[in-house]
Amino acid sequence: MGSEELRKLPAVSTLLETPEAKALIAQHGHEQVREALRAALEAARQSIRAGGIAPSRAAVLADASQRLLVALSPSLSPVINASGVIIHTNLGRAPLSERARRAAALVAAGYCNLEYDLEEGERGSRYVHAARLLKQLTGAEDALVVNNNAAAVLLALSALAREREVLISRSQLIEIGGGFRIPDVMRQSGARLIEVGTTNRTYVRDYAEALHPVNTALILRVHHSNFTLSGFVHEPSLNELVALGAEHGVPVMDDLGSGSLLDTQPFGLAHEPTIQESIAAGAALVTASGDKLLGGPQAGLILGRAELIERLRRHPLARAVRVDKTTLAALEATLLTYLEGHAIEELPVWRMIATQPEVLRQRVRRWQRCIQGWGVKSTLVATQATVGGGSLPGQQLPSWALALITSSPDALAHRLRRPAQPGIPIIARIEEGQVLLDARTVLPEQDDQLLAMLHLALQDIPVSSVTT
Ligand SMILES: *Cc1c(COP(=O)(O)O)cnc(C)c1O
pLDDT value at position 468? 46
Are both 363 and 447 inside the same structural domain? yes
Alpha helix ranges (H) inside 109-222: 131-138, 149-161, 182-188, 204-210
Domain-terminating residue out of 346, 377, 404: 346
Asked whether residue 178 carries a pLDDT value surpassing 80, the answer given is no
SS3 labels along 48-66:
HHCCCCCCCHHHHHHHHHH
Domain-terminating residue out of 346, 368, 393: 346
Domain containing residue 153: CATH number = 3.40.640.10
221 lines ligand 1 (CB under 6 A): no
User: Hey, what amino acid is at 146?
Assistant: V
Residue of 93, 225, 287 to mutate, ligand 1, most atoms within 8 A of C-beta: 225
272 lines ligand 1 (CB under 6 A): no
Asked whether residue 108 carries a pLDDT value surpassing 50, the answer given is yes
What residue owns the CA closest to ligand 1's atom 11?
A: 257
Are both 38 and 170 inside the same structural domain? no
378 lines ligand 1 (CB under 6 A): no
222 lines ligand 1 (CB under 6 A): yes
Domain coverage including residue 394: 80-87+351-465
Asked whether residue 96 carries a pLDDT value surpassing 90, the answer given is yes
pLDDT in tens, 393-435: 889 999 999 999 888 999 999 999 999 888 999 999 999 999 9
Are both 373 and 266 inside the same structural domain? no
Are both 173 and 293 inside the same structural domain? yes
Domain-terminating residue out of 71, 104, 128: 71
Are both 227 and 190 inside the same structural domain? yes
146 lines ligand 1 (CB under 6 A): no
172 lines ligand 1 (CB under 6 A): no
Residue 467's pLDDT band, with cuts at 50, 70 and 90, is low
Q: What is the layout of strands, in order, in the sheet containing 192-196? A: 142-146, 300-304, 285-289, 252-257, 216-222, 165-169, 192-196
User: Number of structural domains, the chain?
Assistant: 3
Are both 168 and 288 inside the same structural domain? yes
Are both 208 and 307 inside the same structural domain? yes
pLDDT in tens, 283-337: 999 999 999 999 999 999 999 999 999 999 999 999 999 999 999 999 999 999 9
Domain containing residue 432: CATH number = 3.90.1150.180
Are both 198 and 61 inside the same structural domain? no
pLDDT value at position 1? 54
148 lines ligand 1 (CB under 6 A): yes
What is the arithmetic mean of pLDDT over 460-466?
A: 78
In angstroms and rounded to an integer, the radius of gyration of the C-alpha atoms of the chain is 28
Are both 190 and 327 inside the same structural domain? yes
Asked whether residue 87 carries a pLDDT value surpassing 50, the answer given is yes
Are both 9 and 49 inside the same structural domain? yes
Are both 100 and 172 inside the same structural domain? yes
What residue owns the CA closest to ligand 1's atom 15?
A: 257
Are both 172 and 246 inside the same structural domain? yes
pLDDT in tens, 365-396: 999 999 999 988 899 999 999 999 888 888 99
